[in-house]
Structure 1
Amino acid sequence: MTIEQQNQDDDIRIKMFKALADPTRMDMIRMVRDKSDENGELPCSVVFETLPFSKSTVSFHFKTLREAGLTFTRKEARQTYFRLNRVAFDRYLPGLLDTF
């Protein structure tokens, strides 16, 4: 691996660590890990109903996790689904999900 690639990987990890440096976002990661369906998805409405914050605050956290490459969201009709980007966790933060 070249130094340039190492630096790019480090930049990605830093963005991920910053996203995970918030207890609410860590709770959201746990929630989707523990409560997701057989496809690994959790309706965003479950997260909105569970967390004691406004929808705009929770949406901000969804966006932060997605922009850090830790999650994906998918919209189907009026429902939005949230799932972990397990490939990113396995590549950049191996074993981390098991420690939550």
Structure 2
Amino acid sequence: MVTTSLTSPFEVASGFHALSDPLRVRVLELLQQQEYCVCELCEQLHVSQSKLSFHLKALREASLVRARQEGRWVYYSVNRRQFNLLEQYLSEYSRRTAGLLSGRYSSCQ
């Protein structure tokens, strides 16, 4: 089993599930550049606020974005720490599977 700073397999699965939707990936690409409020994201992505809110909720639940309220507006930004944890998971997975591919084959052939 791959061990990382992530506390559970649920966090890993939640993170990758959140990344599995093209609109969510587009949101994250925008948020890499700067913090945006919901109305700005809707305008940039040409989607309704209700549709975007659904996707932002999935990203928040996966801890991939942070929400900050200022007055009546909510501003979103990337949670780089969570991305680093997912990257660490993939790196560890890659490191461990590289050993399997370099000559340690299963006896089930």
Tell me what 1:74 maps to.
68
Q: Given the two structures, how large is their TM-score scaled by the length of structure 1?
A: 0.76
Aligned counterpart in structure 2 of residue 47 of structure 1, from 25, 30, 41:
41
Distance 1:6 1:30 in 2: 23
Seen in structure 2, the aligned counterparts of structure 1 residues 7 and 88 have a Cα distance that, compared at 3 Å, is: closer
Bigger relative contact order, structure 1 or 2, given CA contacts below 8 A and separation 6+? 2
Query: Is the contact made by 2:15 and 2:64 (CA closer than 8 Å) also made in structure 1?
Result: yes
After TM superposition, the structure 1 stretch with the greater mean CA deviation from structure 2, 20-29 or 79-88, is: 79-88
Seen in structure 2, the aligned counterparts of structure 1 residues 6 and 27 have a Cα distance that, compared at 3 Å, is: closer
Tell me what 1:11 maps to.
10
Query: Is the contact made by 2:63 and 2:82 (CA closer than 8 Å) also made in structure 1?
Result: yes
Tell me what 1:29 maps to.
28
Query: Is the contact made by 2:27 and 2:41 (CA closer than 8 Å) also made in structure 1?
Result: yes
Tell me what 2:54 maps to.
60
Percentage of matched positions with identical amino acids: 33
**Paired residue total:** 88
Distance 1:85 1:30 in 2: 13
Dislocated runs of 4+, deviation >3 Å: none
Aligned Cα root-mean-square deviation (Å): 2.6
Q: In terms of Rg, which structure is larger?
A: 2
